[in-house]
Structure 1
């Protein structure tokens, strides 16, 4: 592992085991070659966000992926950054991808957040905060994490173009293929807005980019935007499922509904809009509900918390860790 923020080994192992005991859950023991990170979006600056940051601090990950929608307050970028660094330290890699609240500037600007919470992972490629990827760890990568911004309006009132064949669609495809060509075991994508959802939004991210990720069998896609937790079965296109269309369930597109899932059979989507605000309801009767394996919302096991992910050469293990006062949990694995 490279230095500069990476804490692989005994400290991470003890931190992870301590958390698993307090949560009364079994946790796989990462070996010396592992990556450990947390992820959540839709934070705000209230007590909920501070509670979730306390969970992150307790878990001691190598880095955190903040899935967009940060301060929910105009002009509060530095205040938000101070909240984060007061909990996690000034050098902790709190990695950013924009949400709609800071892409168009009405609740701060992503560029300002990126200045006071800069990338602290070495080897980053692309435009930090908007569209970028990084291989972790840098010296002997186990995973490539690709962050994109489909479906969001920016200050010019326009969305970035992730339609099929566009420059950003091609960039995303090349980043996925490049990871595979370099022999990197795991490929993850993170973006603020989902396509499939049990909440109030439709396919914000767009069908083209979503079906690209499915066709490439990206291992895990992380989203937020809906202030809920929602985790899908493993989904894939190909064979009898030529294209996934939002608003209905195609059984042929569910490649694996067991546990653990098998790498290469499809993609798991995990929506983690539970970083501090909460408040959205989930609809168990949603026409896309058949794609989902687990969920939590304001009307069903409400929870704030973070997704805790450990990756080794052989497996990806993830669990939802609730903040203090909440009891909802979820865990899933993908194995090679």
Structure 2
């Protein structure tokens, strides 16, 4: 039977609709544009959603310094300066007694700058040989070896402190001059509650309040020692340093190396008394110590001039962990101190002789 015209019209509409659907299904999807980079953000790598590790931040660089006293201008002094140059510290603490001869301050300064450079911070505090001018004058030494550290407070060469580094410091270094005579023939007054006593105590307290991790005190004369000298800085001044929890106290004067255990005050040790020994005043006797328990005293009078003998029968010997002198492993050298936020580590570096020592205080 012949197909009607109406049927043929409906079939054409159906076929047209089916062809349109077929064509639309085969047309590829238009690609989406990449995310805009106007925000400045870099897309995360595919398959990784971790944020950068905190450990990737650069480590805080340590402070490295050296210290020694009683130097002279002979061959041993030059060897010690050469050893300092090899260590490459950021600064050096010269703990007094420089030339042992009058009128040759410039010669001493030239020797130092020849070995360490004219801009190196070779930081001075007076010893008894130059405090009163009889073997050189501290005023002349500070002219030819001036302060090179920013932010120094006080009277350079006599009584001063500085924070290192200046921004976000790791250590406050406090240099004082108790127990030695100046031009008027009298020692500076560091007696209890004197102006210089308070200045030192305030410098220690302020370092703690500013949360500077470490405090180091330097001076020419020691209190505790295995030689012939008495406690020239004074018993009360020395116990104040312990009470204020100075971490390390450096000195020269006695031409030996001598380093105590950590000495601390407590209910059983109200004061550390010179020329005697009390076991109760030993806060820690290991070579690795904990900050806050006490103070380590290190005498580094081995910078180059003739050595003294150690008195191993000294009543204070129980306070000491290590020593060297003319009659026991004679050695010239320098103390190398490395300070980080978490530790203060010290090592005796020999320049002539072979005696060594090391200790560490941790937070």
- Normalising by structure 2, we get a TM-score of 0.83
Displacement of 1:284 after TM fit?
1.1
Contact 1:144 1:186 in 2 (8 A): yes
Q: Distance in 2 between matches of 1:219 and 1:278?
A: 29
Q: Aligned residue for 1:158?
A: 186
Q: Distance in 1 between matches of 2:362 and 2:306?
A: 31
Q: Distance in 2 between matches of 1:94 and 1:33?
A: 20
Is 1:303 the counterpart of 2:331 in the alignment? yes
Displacement of 1:202 after TM fit?
1.0
Q: Aligned residue for 1:62?
A: 90
Is 1:329 the counterpart of 2:353 in the alignment? no
Q: Aligned residue for 2:161?
A: 133
Q: Aligned residue for 2:16?
A: none
Q: Say which of 321, 342, 348 aligns to 1:293.
A: 321
Is 1:318 the counterpart of 2:346 in the alignment? yes
Q: Say which of 212, 223, 238 aligns to 1:195.
A: 223
Displacement of 1:214 after TM fit?
0.8
Is 1:112 the counterpart of 2:149 in the alignment? no
Is 1:253 the counterpart of 2:253 in the alignment? no
Contact 1:278 1:303 in 2 (8 A): no
Q: Distance in 1 between matches of 2:343 and 2:250?
A: 17
Q: Aligned residue for 1:212?
A: 240
Contact 2:243 2:264 in 1 (8 A): yes
Q: Distance in 2 between matches of 1:58 and 1:32?
A: 22
Q: Distance in 2 between matches of 1:278 and 1:39?
A: 17
Query: RMSD of aligned C-alpha atoms?
Result: 1.0
Displacement of 1:32 after TM fit?
3.5
Contact 1:215 1:238 in 2 (8 A): no
Contact 1:221 1:267 in 2 (8 A): yes
Aligned length, in residue pairs: 306
Is 1:39 the counterpart of 2:67 in the alignment? yes
Unaligned runs of 5+ in 2: 1-58
Bigger Cα Rg: 2
- For residues 290-311 of structure 1, the C-alpha deviation after alignment (integer angstroms, 9 at most, x for no partner) is 0000000000010000000000
Q: Distance in 1 between matches of 2:97 and 2:344?
A: 26
- Normalising by structure 1, we get a TM-score of 0.90
